[in-house]
Structures are given as C-alpha cells and as structure tokens.
Amino acid sequence: MGATATIASAAPAQHVPVSVFNPIITGPPPIALPANCPAFLSTPDWSLDFTSGNAVGYGTENKNGDWGGGTAEGQAALTTSDGTVQYSGHATLWFGEGNNAGGQTEQVFTLTFNGSGIAGNIDIHANDQQATNNAGTPTASGSNISVTCS
C-alpha cells in the first residue's frame, strides 16, 4: 500500500482535481488481514480511488532543495479489477516529500478510509515515513497500517 501521487512544480498551494491522487492505494496490503475481511483484499486485484472531493497540491523549489505534497478528501470507492465497487465511503489523504541540496530526503503520508459495502464496514488507516541523511543512509522508516472489517 502506498500513496502514488506527485505534485511537480506546483504553485505554493493550488487546487487540483482529486483524481490526481488516484489510485490512492492498491492491494495487497503488507499486513495480515482480519479473518472477517473479504478474501479479495489479500490480492493485488483492487484499488481505492477518489470519486469526488477536494484536493490541494503544493510545491516549492529553491537553491536549498525542493518540497511538495498534497491533501485530498472526499468520496472514494474500493473496486476490484473488474470495476465492481466493493466498498464506498469517505477518504482523507495527506502526503509530503522533500529533499535538501545536500541529499537529505523525507517522504510521509497518512490515509484514512471509512466505507461500507458487500461485507459490512471497512476502516483503513495507514501512515508511513521514510527519511535519509545527506549520505543516503536511512534515518527514519516506519509504517503503521490497520484494516478493520465489521
């Protein structure tokens, strides 16, 4: 699971189509799922996409490096590869990334999706941070992902 959007050379902040962030995530998740979740969630054959909503992208670049990211929220659908909507609900996504001229990098994202569908309700919460120092050595790396089906 991972955010797939990049806002290149955006103005300091600008509204962008929420579809810029699609797919928000795709399967399979890098965690074991609860037994009561539908089996298709353990496959690579699904995606979570915004269907409507609001989004803002931002970016800046100068002699010290570049930084960018975005925030999006709205209605979303979790669909299987055949286009069937399995769950629909509300998603919120925030991500940021940057690097300085010396080579230090950081990437972070946070996702929340609350939906209902074929097997009841689903809640997906994920956040991730990856960072390196100027030598490219990882200095922070961590993911926190949970999926609840009820």
Please give the full DSSP string across 19-39, using - where no structure is assigned: GGG-SSEESPPSSPPPTTS-G
pLDDT at residue 65, rounded to an integer: 87
pLDDT at residue 11, rounded to an integer: 55
- How many angstroms separate the CA atoms of 113 and 131, rounded? 25
pLDDT at residue 102, rounded to an integer: 85
Considering the chain, what is the average pLDDT of its residues? Answer: 90
In this prediction, residues 56-79 reach a mean pLDDT of 93
Residue written as token pair 């069937």: 84
Between residues 60 and 89, which one has the greater pLDDT? 89
**pTM of the predicted structure, to 2 decimals:** 0.84
Residues in CB range of 78: below 8 A, 6 or more apart: 46, 47, 48, 85, 86, 87, 88, 113, 115, 117, 122
pLDDT at residue 4, rounded to an integer: 42
**Dihedral pair phi/psi, residue 130, rounded to 5°:** -135, 130
Residue written as token pair 């037994």: 35
The tokens describing 6, both together, are: 């990049």
Portion of the chain with pLDDT greater than 70, in percent:
92
Q: How confident is the model at residue 8 (pLDDT cuts 50, 70, 90)?
A: very low
